[in-house]
Structure 1
Amino acid sequence: MPPFRSALTHLLQARFPLLFVESFEEQRVLDEIDAAVAGLKTPRALWRWSATEGLRRAGGPPERETHAPAAMLQGVARVHERAVFVLSDLHAFLGDGTQQADPLTVRALRDVVRDFRAGELARTVIVVAPVLRIPPELEKDVTVVDFALPGEPEIRDLLEGMIIRNRDTVHVALDERGRDRLTKAALGMTLAEAENAVSLAMVNGSALTESDVELVLAEKAQTIRKTGLLELVRSEIDLADVGGLDALKSWLDKRRDSWLAEAAAYGLPAPKGVLITGVPGCGKSLTAKAAAAAWGLPLIRMDIGRVFAGLVGASEHNMRSALATAEACAPCVLWVDEIDKGFAGAGTASDTGTSARVFGTFLTWLQEKTGPVFVIATANRIENLPPEFLRKGRFDEIFFVDLPDSYERADIWRLHLTRRPAGPAGGPELTPELLRELAGISEGFSGAEIEQAVVSGLFEAYFDRRALTAADLLHAVRNTVPLSTLHAAQVAELREWAKLRAVPASRSLGNDGLAPE
Structure 2
Amino acid sequence: MPNYLETTEIITRYLKARVPLIVVKSTEPVRVFSILRTISTNIPSLPFFYYSAADGLRELASNQLVLEDQSLAAALDQAKTMFKARRNVNFIFTEIDHLDSDTPTARHFCQMVRIAEEYQGAIILLADKPVWSGLARLGMSVTLDLPTTEEIFELVSGMMKGHSTAIPVEWAESDMRAAAEILTGITEAEVVNVLATMLVKGAIRAEDLAELSRFKDSIFGELTGIERIRLDDNYHVGGLDNLNAWLKKRKALMKTDLSGTRLHPPKGILLCGVPGCGKSLSAKNIAVQWELPLYRLDMGAILGMYVGESEQNLREALETAERMAPCVLWIDEIEKGLATGSGDSSVTKRLIGQFLFWLQESQAKVFIVATANDVSTLPPELLRKGRFDEIFFVDLPTETERTDIIDLCFWKYTNHAIPSHLVAELAEVSEGFAGSDIDAVVHDIGSEMLFNNTTELPPSDYIRSQFRNVVPFSQTNPEELAAIRDWGRHRAVPAGRTIADSPDNNSVFAGRTIVL
Alignment of 1:278-317 (within 5 A): 278-305=273-300, 307=302
Shift of 1:242: 0.5
Q: Distance in 2 between matches of 1:109 and 1:483?
A: 68
Q: Is the 8 A contact 2:326 2:364 kept in 1?
A: yes
Shift of 1:298: 3.6
SS of aligned partner of 1:506: coil
**Distance verdict in 2 for CA 1:294–1:180, change over 3 Å:** same
**Distance verdict in 2 for CA 1:128–1:512, change over 3 Å:** closer
Q: Is the 8 A contact 1:150 1:187 kept in 2?
A: yes
Equivalent residue, structure 1, for 2:156:
159
Q: Deviations over 1:323-371 (max 9, x none)?
A: 44544554433333333333346997533x5x55554343223212334
Between stretches 52-61 and 258-267, larger displacement belongs to: 258-267
Q: Deviations over 1:49-89 (max 9, x none)?
A: 434445555345466877469x9778877746546654433
Alignment of 1:55-204 (within 5 A): 58=60, 59=63, 61=65, 67=71, 79=83, 81-82=87-88, 86-90=92-96, 93=98, 103-108=103-108, 115=114, 121=120, 123=122, 125-129=124-128, 132-133=129-130, 145-163=142-160, 166=163, 170-176=167-173, 178-204=175-201
Q: Is the 8 A contact 2:432 2:472 kept in 1?
A: yes
SS of aligned partner of 2:252: coil
Q: Is the 8 A contact 2:280 2:332 kept in 1?
A: yes
SS of aligned partner of 1:334: strand
Q: Distance in 1 between matches of 2:467 and 2:511?
A: 16
Shift of 1:249: 2.0
The reply to whether residue 496 of structure 1 matches residue 486 of structure 2 is: yes
Q: Distance in 1 between matches of 2:222 and 2:406?
A: 39
Q: Distance in 2 between matches of 1:106 and 1:512?
A: 69
Q: Deviations over 1:152-185 (max 9, x none)?
A: 4333433344345545653434445554555455
Pairing partner for 1:368 from 361, 364, 386: 361
Alignment of 1:256-271 (within 5 A): 256-259=251-254, 269-271=264-266
Between stretches 229-238 and 207-216, larger displacement belongs to: 229-238
**Distance verdict in 2 for CA 1:22–1:283, change over 3 Å:** farther
Structure 2 residues without counterparts, runs of 5 or longer: none
Equivalent residue, structure 2, for 1:21:
25
Q: Is the 8 A contact 2:496 2:511 kept in 1?
A: no
Amino acid paired to 1:35: T
Q: Distance in 2 between matches of 1:329 and 1:283?
A: 25
**Distance verdict in 2 for CA 1:405–1:38, change over 3 Å:** farther
The reply to whether residue 413 of structure 1 matches residue 423 of structure 2 is: no
Equivalent residue, structure 2, for 1:336:
331
Q: Deviations over 1:389-435 (max 9, x none)?
A: 22221111112223333333333333333334x1xxx324262x333
Shift of 1:257: 0.9
Q: Is the 8 A contact 1:182 1:210 kept in 2?
A: no
**Distance verdict in 2 for CA 1:60–1:310, change over 3 Å:** farther
Q: Is the 8 A contact 2:407 2:417 kept in 1?
A: no
**Distance verdict in 2 for CA 1:51–1:238, change over 3 Å:** same
Shift of 1:439: 2.6
Equivalent residue, structure 2, for 1:3:
3
Amino acid paired to 2:391: I
Alignment of 1:314-393 (within 5 A): 319-344=314-339, 350-351=345-346, 353=347, 356-357=349-350, 359-393=352-386
Equivalent residue, structure 1, for 2:434:
446
Q: Is the 8 A contact 1:151 1:328 kept in 2?
A: no
**Distance verdict in 2 for CA 1:209–1:264, change over 3 Å:** closer
Q: Percent identity?
A: 33
Q: Distance in 1 between matches of 2:142 and 2:451?
A: 64
Amino acid paired to 2:400: Y
Q: Distance in 2 between matches of 1:311 and 1:89?
A: 31
**Distance verdict in 2 for CA 1:270–1:168, change over 3 Å:** closer
The reply to whether residue 217 of structure 1 matches residue 208 of structure 2 is: no
**Distance verdict in 2 for CA 1:323–1:147, change over 3 Å:** farther
Q: Distance in 2 between matches of 1:364 and 1:52?
A: 43
Shift of 1:286: 1.4
Amino acid paired to 2:209: V
**Distance verdict in 2 for CA 1:198–1:496, change over 3 Å:** same
Q: Deviations over 1:75-114 (max 9, x none)?
A: 8777465466544334x5357xxxxx5733444456667x
Q: Is the 8 A contact 1:285 1:337 kept in 2?
A: yes
Shift of 1:316: 5.3
Q: Is the 8 A contact 1:49 1:55 kept in 2?
A: yes
Q: Distance in 2 between matches of 1:477 and 1:436?
A: 13
Cα RMSD after superposing both structures = 4.4
Amino acid paired to 1:196: N
The reply to whether residue 399 of structure 1 matches residue 405 of structure 2 is: no
Q: Distance in 2 between matches of 1:262 and 1:127?
A: 33
Q: Distance in 1 between matches of 2:45 and 2:303?
A: 45
Structure 1 residues without counterparts, runs of 5 or longer: 96-100
SS of aligned partner of 1:207: coil
Equivalent residue, structure 2, for 1:482:
472
Q: Is the 8 A contact 1:18 1:126 kept in 2?
A: yes
Q: Distance in 1 between matches of 2:301 and 2:115?
A: 40
Q: Distance in 1 between matches of 2:203 and 2:352?
A: 46
Q: Is the 8 A contact 1:74 1:108 kept in 2?
A: no
Alignment of 1:222-241 (within 5 A): 222-227=218-223, 230-237=226-233, 241=236
**Distance verdict in 2 for CA 1:75–1:254, change over 3 Å:** same
Between stretches 139-148 and 273-282, larger displacement belongs to: 139-148
**Distance verdict in 2 for CA 1:12–1:446, change over 3 Å:** farther
Q: Is the 8 A contact 1:87 1:127 kept in 2?
A: yes
Pairing partner for 1:457 from 439, 445, 452: 445
Q: Is the 8 A contact 2:20 2:138 kept in 1?
A: no
Which structure: larger Rg?
A: 2
Q: Distance in 1 between matches of 2:369 and 2:511?
A: 30
**Distance verdict in 2 for CA 1:134–1:494, change over 3 Å:** farther
**Distance verdict in 2 for CA 1:127–1:464, change over 3 Å:** same
Amino acid paired to 2:274: V
Q: Is the 8 A contact 1:21 1:146 kept in 2?
A: yes
Q: Is the 8 A contact 1:428 1:468 kept in 2?
A: no
Equivalent residue, structure 2, for 1:98:
none
Alignment of 1:239-278 (within 5 A): 241-259=236-254, 269-278=264-273
Query: TM-score of the superposition, structure 1-length normalised?
Result: 0.77
**Distance verdict in 2 for CA 1:88–1:378, change over 3 Å:** farther
Q: Is the 8 A contact 2:216 2:324 kept in 1?
A: no
Amino acid paired to 1:6: E
Equivalent residue, structure 2, for 1:208:
204
Q: Distance in 2 between matches of 1:401 and 1:500?
A: 13
Q: Is the 8 A contact 2:3 2:147 kept in 1?
A: no
